[in-house]
Amino acid sequence: MKTILLCSDLDRTLLPNGAQLESPKVRKVFSKLAAREEILLAYVSGRNEQLVKEAISKYQLPDPQFVIGDVGTTLYRIHRRAWELDKNWQQEIGRDWHGNNRDDVVTLLSDLDGFDLRLQEEEKQNSYKVSYYTNPQLDMKAIRKKVSALLTEHGIDTSVIWSLDEKEHCGLLDILPQRASKLHAIRFLMKEEEIPEASTVFAGDSGNDLDALTSGLQAILVKNSTADVQKAALEELEEKGLADCLFIARGDLQGMNGNYAAGVLEGLVYFFPEIADWLD
């Protein structure tokens, strides 16, 4: 049996921290599957190392072999619970900043008036991720344009991601190297581990998973994903002629409801039918 690389988002994909109900004992079934030697497990998340570790412990998830964290700016290999940062990935994304570092970004942006940028806590930053809080009412397009232009002028090619923290009522601005993304990190990992596309599958639930969900990799949307995300993913894949690559969980595997880990399992069985026998 070949090796299968399962790359899965955490929040509201494997972690049942959304509004929908989780099927009982589904994470036990998932852990049993992950323990098989055919399965290589990678968690792919916006969370940093500490917050991924907290999620694993709080929700009793299996230890993965890899973690792509901090919105794709870090890749860790995990052996016997020791986390090691993949330096090759840092080098790969660092090229976009042409020798500049995080302090250079902060210095350049400190001159920017009118956007109310406040640096986030130290644990939310890393060598290739600079994160700010902003006023939630600001014009997101204007900020992104202004920040990108200013940094590009100084040889720093960035991807500027703006999102809203509705609970805390603030805007979040992440500045990353241009090529740092969940999808690019997954492809980098596949290449390093020599895992072909036919043996790789990605699972997610929301807008920030869309580039991986619509990349042509085999992909799973859990049933608790919103209708908007399902529609956006399908439309984009149909346009590319790749609609067969996506499976949207329906909730019809072994009495489970298709939400969270149940959806991931359902999708795995869809792409690799032999897995059904392993779940009994």
Alpha-carbon span 31 to 26, nearest angstrom:
9
User: Which of 4, 5, 9, 132: binder of Mg ion (CB under 5 A)?
Assistant: 9
Name which of 96 and 209 has its Cβ closer to Mg ion.
209
Q: How is the chain split among helix, strand and coil, in percent rounded to 5?
A: 40, 25, 35
- Residue 245 burial by Cβ neighbours in a 10 Å radius (0-12, 13-18, 19+): buried
The reply on whether position 205 binds Mg ion by CB under 5 A is yes
Which segment (54-62, 71-79, 200-208, 241-249) binds Mg ion by CB under 5 A? Answer: 200-208
The reply on whether position 11 binds Mg ion by CB under 5 A is yes
3-state secondary structure 83-109: EEECHHHHHHHHHHHCCCCHHHHHHHH
Angle between helices 87-94 and 182-193 (to 10 degrees): 130
The reply on whether position 12 binds Mg ion by CB under 5 A is yes
Name which of 105 and 217 has its Cβ closer to Mg ion.
217
Which segment (10-18, 52-60, 171-179, 237-245) binds Mg ion by CB under 5 A? Answer: 10-18
Site for Mg ion in 13-42 (CB under 5 A): 13
The reply on whether position 129 binds Mg ion by CB under 5 A is no
Name the residue with the smallest CB distance to Mg ion. Answer: 11
> How many chain residues are in contact with Mg ion, going by CB under 5 A?
6
The token pair at 52 is: 């991924």
Helix (H, G, I), strand (E, B) or coil at 80: coil
Q: Using CB under 5 A as the criterion, which residues of the chain lie in contact with Mg ion when the complex forms?
A: 9, 11-13, 205-206
